[in-house]
Amino acid sequence: MMLTLNMSNHSAIQNLGTVTNRILVVEDEDSIRELLVLGLEEEGFEVVALADGHTALTQCQAQTPQTQDFPFDLIILDLMLPKVSGLDLCRFLRYQGNHVPILIVSAKITETDRVLGLEVGADDYLSKPFSMRELVARCRALLRRNRLNIAADTPTIQFQDITLYSEEYRVLVRGVETNLSPREFRLLELFMQYPRRVWDREQLLDRVWGIDFIGDRKTVDVHIRWLREKLEIDPSQPQYITTVRGFGYRFG
């Protein structure tokens, strides 16, 4: 059985019970950056790695401030960076109202630095040298905490004339109570949390079906079809869930 799995399924299996999270690593020291990328990818994370604060700032600035549209689930940030320091980057994100979890990884170990880092809005702090195992554990803890916060903050999600009540497991479509299966509900909830984001089938499988699912990506297409039948006025001309040719799906 294992032999027939492709790489992405394999990493999903190593990663029992979690979803694929995207982590931004900002670290100027090549060897540490590479170590972080390798270690995190091995744990099933998607990683984007940058070597200076200015590039990171530009990438973050290009995004809307709302955390939900932000393309990263977590930032691992070195403090001493060329051009723009980690502290300034952190300050900037928080000033924008972005609540993405930030883990500072730094050689600076004074109490003052630690306090300052936390004061400008970092969530956690790890001194170099660190063990990869501890870093991954901290990342997972931050991601878990953030997921809980987001869930608690947004019990109701509204998009045009669709309203989803996360905690009550209810959906109103144009004012009408609509029954969704658990998978359809989870799929819609994910779409509504990230309007306009394009998802490929693999990402949707990871997030909605999780690792206990090993099978055909066509499952996604089938569920999308069912969901369209329940949401769309004309399922053959979908307005909410659109197909992005050659890639996957987008909501909104």
Residues lying near Ca ion in the complex (CB under 5 A) are found at 28, 78, 80
For 31-49, letters b (16+ CB in 10 Å) and e give ebbebbbebbeebbbbbeb
SS3 letters for 125-187? EEECCCCHHHHHHHHHHHHHHHHHHHHHHCCEEEECCEEEECCCCEEEECCEECCCCHHHHHH
Cβ partners under 8 Å of residue 95, min gap 6? none
**CB 101 → Ca ion: shortest distance, Å?**
20
Q: Which is nearer to Ca ion, 30 or 119 (CB)?
A: 30
Q: Which is nearer to Ca ion, 29 or 232 (CB)?
A: 29
**CB 82 → Ca ion: shortest distance, Å?**
8
CA distance 153 to 244: 30
Phi, psi at 86, each rounded to 5°: -60, -40
Q: Which is nearer to Ca ion, 80 or 136 (CB)?
A: 80
Q: Which is nearer to Ca ion, 28 or 88 (CB)?
A: 28
Q: Which is nearer to Ca ion, 28 or 113 (CB)?
A: 28
Q: Which is nearer to Ca ion, 28 or 200 (CB)?
A: 28
**CB 81 → Ca ion: shortest distance, Å?**
6
Q: Count the alpha carbons within 13 Å of 9 in the hemisphere toward its beta carbon.
A: 13
Quick one: tokens of 174?
Answer: 């144009």
**CB 34 → Ca ion: shortest distance, Å?**
14
β pairing state of 162-165 and 170-173: antiparallel
**CB 80 → Ca ion: shortest distance, Å?**
4
Residue of closest CB approach to Ca ion: 80
**CB 164 → Ca ion: shortest distance, Å?**
43
- Nearest CA-CA partner of 13 in 221, 209, 217: 209
CB 15 within 8 A of CB 43: yes
**CB 106 → Ca ion: shortest distance, Å?**
8
Q: Which is nearer to Ca ion, 104 or 157 (CB)?
A: 104
